Chain A
Amino acid sequence: MATSKLLVSTLRKSLTSPSPSSSFRRFSTAAAEAVAPASEPEDSLTIKGVKISARPLYLDMQATSPVDPRVLDAMLPYYLARYGNPHSRTHLYGWESDQAVETARSQVADLIGASPKEIVFTSGATESNNISVKGVYEQEGFDVTYLPVGNDGIVDLEKLKGSIRRDTGLVSVMAVNNEIALGKIPIDVDKWNVSLMSLSGHKIYGPKGSWEWGTACELAKKEMEYDDKRIGALQERLLNGVRAKLGGVVVNGSVERRYAGNLHLSFAYVEGESLLMGLKDVAVSSGSACTSASLEPSYVLRALGVDEDMAHTSIRFGIGRFTTEEEIDRAIELTVQQVEKLREMSPLYEMVKEGIDIKQIQWAQH
């Protein structure tokens, strides 16, 4: 397994590192589309008005993850040669595709401790969620009880127990939230007594919107423990690296009970979107309101009870199977640099340095 990992990372390095002879960014495990610059110098590109010198580092794994080359390897034959429709019953093409689907089905089932008969492939998690909830409860008029979460984002089990009624038909819980901690945690639907579950393939290095997950699930199962340890170490490295140089860094959501690949941080006195603008060479995302059309901060952060003045200051870093130490170190360097620059420009930081308590100020409404 170690050899194939080495192969994968070497392959990725050689495909994505700039060489003097190549003038374009080609195949890479980054999720964004390749953009071929028309009139720009060889190694820089301008997009949305921002000029960047190279493809950004990808640290947005909770939005989506790159396809593992081994998954791609497994898929390619089915695009190029064995492209039959699994429902075609009358020829080899159909039969072999059907076999592939069933193999994939059992690999998924194996990963979560379910029976293959219980797996339904859909176009994605959103469709799955809708099928589960709406499909099971087709009529309207059902009472819905919304439960709050604690400051660490965890559901209070006592509260949950207390709110289950005799006529409760469905309890729906997010095993891991994609904003503050997406999970690749060991799942056993039998042990947990789960009736329905939605899974997202493109967040476990599988393809997007497609049923071809078999290999992705198999790999997830084999490599989860190793991935978890490695990613956990990177997460710690990122947090410690940033905290070594900056004060006022708050982790959103429980530190202990979060998935290792997610680091959702608030940087006091610095607004999230301006930080994103400064971090143009790192692909991350933010929970700040300016990125949505309304001025409301993220409902997830609000549910955690994050203070108003911190609600606009957050950035979500997503670490994954292919993230390297160099990328983390570079991300630390850039983040510290940009936060320091923006704090110099921040009236809130200035007030705090002067000893003013910004929570006491009467701000003007606007």
Chain B
Amino acid sequence: MLRQLASKRLITQRIQILPRFYHEKVIDHFNNPRNVGSFDKNDPAVGTGLVGAPACGDVMKLQIKVDDTTGEIVDARFKTFGCGSAIASSSVATEWVKGKQMEEVMTIKNTEIAKHLSLPPVKLHCSMLAEDAIKAAVKDYKTKRAKSNVDSDAEPAVQAAKA
């Protein structure tokens, strides 16, 4: 009797509307993450932003490599401890800052990242954190630059962003 049942196709007519849905872009960034890695944080051309907290389940480290003469961000890397949406948000952030001026990337809004990834409301804070990470990286680079201009040793300043 079981075999007979098995040979018939079990179709469920009712389609469940599942409350959480991973957009394919998020999945893509998770499966094929762009720009994962690290620069040497002691490199004077590198700005490092470290935001979030393990207790919250989200930590992002975003690094930018800046061309001193033009002020353009030539490369970026990230590492993230967090859910799929957090990983995707930081991955997108590294893609978007490349080839831009620092002033320009300071205007990147978390809402744009969230829209690009179709993040549900419960995951908006992931995009906020990515925006914070970008700002923190730029700030760190500028601070390092200012310090080295005053002729003191450029410290590897890992600066936590102020929320």
Contacts and interface: CB of A to CB of B under 8 A. Distances in A.
A290 B60 contact: no
A273 interface: yes
Interface in A13-71: 15, 24, 26-27, 33-36, 48-50, 69
A271 B22 contact: no
B122 to A, nearest CB: 6
B22 A366 contact: no
A36 B2 contact: no
A295 B160 contact: no
B56 A295 contact: yes
Given A50-B27, A76-B1, A345 B128 contact: no
B143 to A, nearest CB: 15
Contacts of B132: 364, 366
A214 to B, nearest CB: 19
Closest 7 CB pairs between A and B?
A363-B53, A309-B54, A312-B57, A308-B55, A273-B83, A347-B61, A364-B160
A28 to B, nearest CB: 9
Contacts of A308: 54-55
B10 A26 contact: yes
13 contacts: A15-B3, A26-B10, A34-B10, A35-B12, A36-B11, A271-B58, A271-B81, A308-B54, A346-B79, A350-B61, A363-B55, A363-B59, A366-B125
A312 B36 contact: no
B162 A364 contact: yes
Residue from A273, A312, A362, A366 with most neighbouring chain B CB atoms (10 Å): A366
Given A271-B82, A293-B122, 18 more contacts: A33-B16, A49-B21, A49-B24, A50-B27, A72-B2, A76-B1, A271-B58, A272-B57, A273-B57, A274-B30, A297-B57, A345-B33, A350-B79, A363-B160, A364-B163, A366-B53, A366-B56, A366-B128
A233 interface: no
Nearest to A310: B54
Interface of A: 11, 15, 24, 26-27, 33-36, 48-50, 69, 72-73, 76, 269-274, 277-278, 288-290, 293, 295, 297, 308-309, 311-312, 344-348, 350, 358, 362-366
B127 interface: no
A308 B52 CA distance: 13
B7 interface: yes
A290 B6 contact: no
Interface of B: 1-3, 5-12, 16, 18, 20-24, 26-27, 30, 33, 36, 38, 50-61, 79-84, 86-87, 122, 125, 128-129, 132, 160-163
A270 B128 contact: no
B53 A364 contact: yes
Contact of B22 (A27, A50, A76, A278): A50
A365 B53 contact: yes
A52 to B, nearest CB: 11
Residue from B5, B54, B79, B160 with most neighbouring chain A CB atoms (10 Å): B54
Nearest to B53: A363
A269 B80 CA distance: 10
Nearest to B48: A347
B7 to A, nearest CB: 7
A344 B36 contact: yes
A72 B12 CA distance: 19
Contacts of A348: 54, 59, 81
B30 A15 contact: no
Contacts of A73: 1-2
Given A366-B52, A366-B53, A15 B10 contact: no
Contact of A27 (B6, B82, B83): B6
Residue from B11, B56, B129 with most neighbouring chain A CB atoms (10 Å): B56
A132 to B, nearest CB: 30
Contacts of A347: 50, 59-61, 79-81
A35 B9 CA distance: 10
A365 B81 contact: no
A363 B54 contact: yes
A13 B61 CA distance: 46
Given A33-B12, A36-B9, A364 B52 contact: yes
Contacts of A278: 30
A69 B16 CA distance: 26
A271 B79 contact: no
